[in-house]
Amino acid sequence: MIYPADTQRSTADQTRLLLVEDDRETADMLAELFVSEGYDVDVAFDGHRGLHLGLGRRHQVMVVDRMLPGLDGLDLVKRLRRVGVTTRVLVLTALGELGDRVTGLDSGADDYLVKPFEVDELLARVRALHRRDLADAEVLPLGDGDGGQLDLRRHEVCLADGSRVELSLREFGLLHALADGPKRVHDRSHLRERVFPDTSAESIVDTYVYYLRRKLGRDVVRTVRGRGYQMGTL
């Protein structure tokens, strides 16, 4: 479910936010609240749908309930982090003990807010996460570093001529995996497990290699026959 931003009251510059909350009344209330603040809001009512949206779309902030059907909120965050999704995450929970908060943060969450909470505090924490996302831009060299860089926050490739190419989350995840070990030959099984954990078909790796080559040129990914793929050059 998608809630488009209220452009008349926008304070978030059309930032996309993912809300994962299984209580539909609470989800509707929070979605309307975020929309009134200017966010485009995607809503998922269970962990598996949240994972699907988190992998399939770019978000600047995620607000995730901890206790979810199908896939626990912390497991959801762990899976997103495992494939290189760096979106800022605020976990909402009724579990407020110190150990619970530590577990949440150690799972990859950026902030942890205990229910019941004040609306003003929730909005302030979401705004703070968005500011951190904008301020903490990170880049990873692609290949020898002369051809371009991968922007780890914006999920874009910055080319040597200054132009930028936007990637989908899965395209980004695959290129990130290759750029993390540019000299290594990555077999398809490893890439499937790291970037596409929600499918068992290794052919999905070939499909996204094709997408990357179509956007960035054939040389961006090198095929090592019989072994797998390796980071190429732009």
pLDDT at 100: 67
Fold category of 139-231 in CATH:
Arc Repressor Mutant, subunit A (1.10.10)
* Domain boundaries, given as residue ranges, for the chain: 2-135, 139-231
Residue 127 DSSP label: H
Which pair of structure tokens corresponds to residue 225? Answer: 């026959």
> Who contacts 87 (Cβ-Cβ below 8 Å, separation ≥6)?
18, 54, 58, 59, 60, 61, 62, 80, 133
Q: In the prediction, which pLDDT does 2 show?
A: 61
Q: What was the pLDDT predicted at 19? A: 97
Dihedral-angle region of residue 155 (phi above 0 means left; psi in -120 to 50 means alpha; beta otherwise)? left
pLDDT value at position 15? 78
pLDDT tens, position by position, 126-171: 999 888 766 665 778 887 656 688 888 778 898 877 788 999 989 9
> Which position has the higher pLDDT, 233 or 5?
233
pTM across the whole model: 0.59
Residue 12 is predicted with a pLDDT of 41
Q: Check: CB of residue 158 under 8 Å from CB of residue 151.
A: yes
Which DSSP category does 14 fall into?
Answer: T
Pair of tokens at residue 226: 């019989």
First vs last C-alpha separation in the chain: 37
When pLDDT is averaged across residues 94-106 and rounded to a whole number, the result is 71
* pLDDT tens-digit map of 35-46: 998 889 999 999
Report DSSP state, residue 1: -
pLDDT beyond 80 at 215: yes
Mean of pLDDT values over 111-115: 89
Residue 7: what pLDDT?
46
Give the per-residue pLDDT at 96.
64
Same CATH fold, 139-231 and 2-135? no
| 61 vs 162, residue with greater confidence | 61
Task: Tell which wins on pLDDT, 155 or 68.
Answer: 68
Which of the four pLDDT bands, split at 50, 70 and 90, describes residue 16? confident
C-alpha 230/C-alpha 232 separation (Å) is 6
Question: pLDDT above 90 covers what percent of the chain?
Answer: 52
- Give percent of the chain with pLDDT exceeding 70: 87
Q: In the sheet that 88-93 helps form, which strands lie side by side, from edge to edge?
A: 2-3, 40-44, 16-20, 61-65, 88-93, 111-114
By CB neighbour count within 10 A (0-12 exposed, 13-18 middle, 19+ buried), where does 41 fall?
A: buried
User: What pLDDT score does 182 carry?
Assistant: 83
Pairwise CA distance, residues 159 & 55, whole Å: 24
CA distances from 132 to 81, 87, 137 (A): 17, 10, 9
Select the CATH number that applies to the domain covering 2-135 from these four: 3.40.50.2300, 1.10.1370.30, 3.40.190.80, 3.40.605.10.
Answer: 3.40.50.2300
